[in-house]
């Protein structure tokens, strides 16, 4: 009896396995419009990864298809809505490099700046990305002075300047806490745009759930635990002439 049950269960498992395999048939050698339709269908259902796979098939089987430029831009925008900004930039770079004319390049470059900007919900965490976004926004204003996106890019650039200043202030605060006044003074002296009235800028409020772990940008939640003494780095650093004079 046990042997018969074992054979029955084994047969059932094999049946389920081959049934699943028969449903998953590899697709290839399809018209370009078929792959394009599959891309749109996958995006409409929220399956961006599958849309990327269909795009690879479209690109691999129909490298010269007129549907490729539109499919590339569709995937770039889909990844941006899905907050996958690195993939957004990848598809936009592909679009600019292979397909875009002058007008289309302007729109793609705008979207690249927007992707970098939207990837910065917490500016104090990524100094390089802020600098890259500032550089791209400044280049856009030079290259497209009459663009319909100019004012939007200008507004994003202003916010990026403020984010950069906030990050520098956070770094300066860190150097102040470890008794490095020269380094703190250097970062506080960085003001990229003289037209901004920096003394009127108010620091952005840190949400309470982040402030619990990261501090508010001016100090850390664990500051009360740190003894009020010089750090090892400070004790062994070269002191300024003013400090030497005061110590005499």
Q: How far apart are CA 218 and CA 207, in angstroms?
A: 14
Domain chopping of the chain, boundaries:
25-99, 115-233
Rounded to two decimals, the pTM is 0.68
Q: What is the pLDDT of residues 177-232, one digit of tens each?
A: 888 888 888 877 776 666 666 666 666 565 555 555 555 555 555 555 555 554 44
CB neighbour list of residue 149: distance below 8 Å, 6 or more residues apart:
106, 107, 110, 140
Q: 77 falls in which pLDDT band (50, 70, 90)?
A: very high
Query: How many other β-carbons are positioned within 10 Å of the β-carbon of residue 226?
Result: 12
Cβ atoms of 27 and 39 within 8 Å: the answer is: no
Considering the segment(s) 25-99 as one domain, its CATH architecture is Alpha Horseshoe (1.25)
Please state, in angstroms and rounded to a whole number, the distance separating the CA atoms of residues 229 and 96.
Answer: 55
- How many residues are present in the chain? 248
Query: What's the pLDDT tens digit per position in 125-156?
Result: 677 888 899 999 999 999 999 999 999 999 99
Residue 19: how many other CB atoms lie within 10 Å: 9
State residue 235's pLDDT score. Answer: 44
Specify the residue for token string 């940008």.
217
The yes-or-no verdict on residue 245 having pLDDT over 70 is no
pLDDT for 164: 81
């Amino acid at each position: 009896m046990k042997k018969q049950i074992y054979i029955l269960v084994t047969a059932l498992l094999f049946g389920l396995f081959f049934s699943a395999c028969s449903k998953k048939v590899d697709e290839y050698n399809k018209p370009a419009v078929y792959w394009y339709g599959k891309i749109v269908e996958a995006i409409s259902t929220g399956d961006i990864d599958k849309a990327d796979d269909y795009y690879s098939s479209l690109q691999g089987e129909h490298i010269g298809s007129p549907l490729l430029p539109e499919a590339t831009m569709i995937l770039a925008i889909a990844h941006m809505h899905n907050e996958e900004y690195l993939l957004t930039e990848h598809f936009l770079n592909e679009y600019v490099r292979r397909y875009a004319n002058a007008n289309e390049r302007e729109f793609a470059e705008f979207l690249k700046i927007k992707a970098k900007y939207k990837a910065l919900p917490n500016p104090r965490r990524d100094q390089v990305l802020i600098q890259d976004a500032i550089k791209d926004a400044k280049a856009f204003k030079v290259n497209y002075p009459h663009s319909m996106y100019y004012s939007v890019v200008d507004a994003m650039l202003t916010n990026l300047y403020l984010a950069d200043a906030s990050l520098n202030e956070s770094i300066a605060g860190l150097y102040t806490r470890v008794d490095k006044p020269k380094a703190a003074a250097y970062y506080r002296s960085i003001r990229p745009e003289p037209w901004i009235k920096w003394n009127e800028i108010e620091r952005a409020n840190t949400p309470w759930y982040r402030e619990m772990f990261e501090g508010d940008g001016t100090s850390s939640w664990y500051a009360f635990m740190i003894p009020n003494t010089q750090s090892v780095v400070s004790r062994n650093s070269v002191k300024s002439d003013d400090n030497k004079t005061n110590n005499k």
